[in-house]
Amino acid sequence: MERCLTELEERPDDRELLAEIFRAVHTIKGTTGFLGFSRLESLAHAGENLLGLLRDGKLKANAEIISGLLALLDILREILASIEGAGEEGHGDDAAMIERLRVLQHGGPASEIPAKKKRTRKSRTKAVSAIATASMAEIGHAQEETKAIEVYQAEQQTAQMRASVNTAESTLRVDVDLLNRMMNLVGELVLTRNQILQMVGADTNLTLLSRRLDMVTADLREAVMKARMQPVSHVFSKFPRMVRDLAQQLNKRVRLVMEGQETELDKSLLEAIKDPLTHSVRNAIDHGIEAPHLREAAGKDAEGTLRLRAYQEGSHVIIEVSDDGGGMKVERIRDKALERKLITRERAAQLSDRELMQLIFLPGFSTAEAVTNVSGRGVGMDVVRTNVEKIGGKVEIDSRAGRGTTLRLRIPLTLAIVPALIVYSRGQSFALPQGALSELVHLSSEQVSEQVEWMEGAALYRLRGKLLPLVFLSSLLKQREQASKSEEAYIAVLNAEGRRYGLVVDSLADPEEIVVKPLSSVLKQIGLFSGATVLGNGEMALILDPGAIATQSNIGMALEDHEAEAPETALTDGLTEYLLMQAGNEHAAVPLESVLRIERVPRARMEQLHGMPVLRFEDSLLPLQDRTSNAAEEEMTVVVCRDRERHVGIAVAQVLDVASGRPLNEAGTHTAAQDVTLLKEKITSVIQLGRIPALPGAYPLEGEFVEEAEAIL
């Protein structure tokens, strides 16, 4: 109903909308009268009278009327909550509210209304607080405790009684604890399945059965995860009202546009983003969108637009809060940061505009001219970032002076399952969440001794000319075991809460989707692990917490190292990011999302198998596509990519850059040409990973295998 009312303000002539609101209020009136709730009945009656006039076109909805109706809705909601909690309406004086609605009915003279409004506001809050304080607190508490998810997305707050009757037949309320338990059991099943799959030998029947078990388990896991999902509209639904109230309070005109409300997110994550999102919306209205006269002066529509957009991108949900306001002035951000002594003057001079913009995420930063009660208290964007990063998400900001600001929250689909890279240190495996990982550098044993530089006990590595502080995992964990014979190492370049450093590990395994298990309190106290997990091979691994490692190793904020992120990312919606490589004399590209890792290997390591180039990594063989032309080179770069289930490698001379590609239409047709894209305004061929032939006699892909198996049957 709240949604309907705010919509009504935009489209005051929408008869259908009016009828919908009228019906809702009428239902409340009818039901409550029947049940003997007299306060509700008289309030609903007053509202109905006003709505009746609106519906019949005798009155036109305006801001005053909508405010009145929203206030009515507030009281109705309080009373309903009180009924739910205490079983009675509570006591309160509704005369003022009814009077206010009556005055609105007569389209009271404009001068009279503000006076009335003031009076009614006061008495209303008094009445409300009298009922609310005790009962609301209790209800809030009780609801939290039961932690029940309403699986069905109920029709907002409208007459809950009616809704519950209608949905009772097709939906259930399920205890979150039960869902968590189911999730755990499914995790257990997945592991048992993995072990069975490893044990299955040559027995065809058993192989088939285990394949079937594999599929059923995967489906089951998906279904249980699905049960934990809720549409983001659960969080979005409160914004129309909030935006409206805030805009009025600040004398601004704001139109709220929401997209992708049906996008689903894990229940616990939805809870976690509520605050950061609310904060971002407040910020956008308070700092972003300018006052109407300023907007007009700047040649913009007096009414500002705030856009909330949610969509899924791979295994992430992106939530964008964008406004078409004044944008952020880089100079002001810099001045403010200097004034608050967040950075030094020398440092500020070195930073690019985009890097300066990231300063707003530092604690204690606020550019608001004055501290308002809406925002500007200096706790702001840093809290947004901390909260989002806590759940494995990321925050990006993009702003253009005079054009507006876009804040992008990148949230993982689910907390329970996290993509992680498995790393080894002294023979023990650890999981490194990929959210924090920006790149991997391989160092051969000579390189370890040559390229790792020491400054009074602090290890550093020159990454593209800049010094990267290094943390050796084995010494951090005080692991006593000796390093393995080969002293080679990998540097995982991590970006945790704005701090950048390299974590040195002995070796890497493949990335895995891990199920996060909490640690007992004794082990949490160590402070370096965020949990533990059971790997596909049944082994356990501790999950490293990149932020905590940075803190314990005294890694400071490193703002200058954002160059890895392409500055244009904000404008690349719908475009694919590619890894650009030098292949012989031409450029070639692979989609960035399929790239697993990049390695420099000696050419001599490339071997031939039935005339096919292959590369051996410990126990696994990697089919290669050789795109190097100069066989005289001693080393080559191998880009390891994921092609569905298998991994393939592309050997190139070197890796050039990451860029977003624009599809090219074939002349005369309107279809995008295959295998080619426009990268940096140059035509570039896209390598089709699927065309790299499989290894002779290799294990077929899962899908084909099942088909084959069924054919045998």
Residues near other proteins (CB under 8 A) are 184-185, 187-188, 191, 428, 477-479, 517-523, 525-526, 528-529, 531-534, 538-542
Q: Whole-number minimum distance, CB 223 to other proteins, in Å? A: 17
Which CB sits closer to other proteins, 140 or 518?
A: 518
Q: How far is the CB of 54 from other proteins (least distance, A)?
A: 57
Taking the CA atoms of residue 241, residue 245, residue 250 and residue 255 in that order, the dihedral angle to the nearest 10 degrees is 30
> Rounded to the nearest whole angstrom, what is the least distance from the CB of residue 481 to other proteins in the complex?
10
In the bound complex, what is the minimum distance in angstroms from residue 526's beta carbon to other proteins? 5
SS3 70: helix
Q: Which is nearer to other proteins, 182 or 356 (CB)?
A: 182
| CB-nearer residue toward other proteins: 185 or 698 | 185
Q: What is the DSSP letter of 111?
A: T
Phi-psi region of 124 (alpha: psi -120 to 50; beta: other; left: phi over 0): alpha
Q: Is the dihedral of CA 429, 430, 431, 435 positive or negative?
A: negative
* CB closer to other proteins out of 25 and 416: 416
Output 525 or 620, the one with its CB closest to other proteins.
525
Which residue stretches of 290-432 are H helix?
292-297, 330-339, 345-350, 353-357, 381-390
| Least distance (Å) between residue 532 CB and other proteins | 4
| Whole-number Å distance between alpha carbons of 514 and 521 | 21
Residue among 359, 435, 396, 403 nearest 280 (CA): 396
Distance CA 65, CA 179 (A): 44
Contact 353, 331 (CB under 8 A): no
54 within 8 A of 61, measured Cβ to Cβ: yes
| CB nearer to other proteins: pick between 148 and 191 | 191
CB 38 within 8 A of CB 45: no
Q: 178 vs 526, which CB is nearer to other proteins? A: 526
Which DSSP state fits 559? Answer: G
In angstroms, give the least distance from the CB of 407 to other proteins. 36
E strand segments, 456-610: 458-463, 466-472, 489-496, 499-505, 507-515, 529-534, 540-544, 576-583, 586-591, 595-602, 606-609
Neighbours of 557 (CB within 10 A): 16
Query: Minimum CB separation from other proteins for residue 550, in Å?
Result: 16
Of 535 and 639, CB closest to other proteins: 535
Question: Closest distance between other proteins and the C-beta of residue 478, in Å?
Answer: 6
CA pair distance 548, 497, nearest whole angstrom: 10
Q: Exposed, middle or buried by CB within 10 Å (0-12, 13-18, 19+), for 431?
A: buried
From the CB of 141, what's the least distance to other proteins, in Å? Answer: 24
Judged by beta carbon, residue 191 or residue 570, the one nearer other proteins is 191
Smallest distance from the beta carbon of 555 to other proteins, in angstroms? 18
Query: Minimum Å distance from CB 477 to other proteins?
Result: 4
Q: Decide whether 523 or 592 has the Cβ nearer to other proteins.
A: 523
Task: State which residue, 347 or 517, has the beta carbon closest to other proteins.
Answer: 517
* Cβ atoms of residues 281 and 244 within 8 Å: no
Q: Is 147 left (phi over 0), alpha (psi -120 to 50) or beta?
A: left
* Cβ atoms of residues 355 and 361 within 8 Å: no
What does residue 142 show for φ and ψ, rounded to 5 degrees? -60, -40
Residue 537 CA from chain centroid, whole number: 30
